[in-house]
Amino acid sequence: MTNDKKVKVKFIEQILNIMLEDIKEYIQFINISSEDLVLFEWKPLRSFKSYILDMNIIKENKVSDIFFHINKGNLKIVHIRKHDLIYTIGANNIQYQILEALLEEIDRQFNEMYDLDVLLSFSNTNPSMFKHFKIQIEQIMENFHSSNLVKKVDVLCRVCKATLPMYVKRSIMESETSFPVPLVYIHKGHAIVTYIDKDFVVRGVELVHINS
Ligand SMILES: [Zn+2]
């Protein structure tokens, strides 16, 4: 690698590390909904944007336990149905794996904090019951960098002719049964498939065709 490229990679890495430490700055909304009620919503201070239309579309998707991704200009939306709830996050410039890791942690802490089976069985479930979760959400975002929920791996892209930092959520290894795990990284209009082994070592990278 030339010195110029080394400087460029270092620069990208620095940006990504700052991003992890300051993840809150990039998050536009977090929403936890049941089928007919918004239980909890977090937005940055002074954000008056509404995501009702996005949430209506997301709710039409009835598949459980699979992460779905939506690209809306600069906004990346990730959502999943879990435990009869719909968890959604929207952010700018954050890799999908990081957003998935965040949603997994939010789901874990939300279920730890509330006895949801009981609370949601009330006929008059009131979202104000969940308002204190705001403190948890703020902590999850503040501690994200140190919480070690994602692992950064370096992948060599032969199109970019550069080593790119790519984040992989650690939980990926718990849910997989065969290794290495393929992970597609779409960036700058092209895509590579990377093969990551149990120890988060990249075992191979291939350029792949894309269709959508
Ligand atoms: Zn590339």
* Residue 137, domain CATH: 3.30.450.50
Q: Are residues 171 and 111 in the same domain?
A: no
In the prediction, which pLDDT does 88 show? 98
Cβ within 8 Å of residue 42, ≥6 positions away: 27, 29, 30, 31, 134, 137
- Residue 73 CA to ligand 1 center (angstroms) comes to 19
Instruction: Tell me which residue range forms the domain holding 167.
Output: 149-208
- Residue 138 CA to ligand 1 center (angstroms) comes to 33
In the prediction, which pLDDT does 159 show? 96
- Residue 8 CA to ligand 1 center (angstroms) comes to 14
Could you tell me the pTM of the whole model? 0.91
Count of domains observed in the chain = 2
pLDDT digits (tens, 9 = 90+) for 126-163: 899 999 999 999 999 999 999 999 999 999 999 999 99
1 located within any domain:
no
176 located within any domain:
yes
- Residue 167 CA to ligand 1 center (angstroms) comes to 15
Q: At which of 146, 161, 196 does a domain end? A: 146
On the 0-12 / 13-18 / 19+ scale of CB atoms within 10 A, 209 is exposed
Q: At which of 127, 146, 165 does a domain end? A: 146
Helix residue ranges per DSSP H, 25-95: 52-60
User: How confident is residue 83, by pLDDT bands cut at 50, 70 and 90?
Assistant: confident
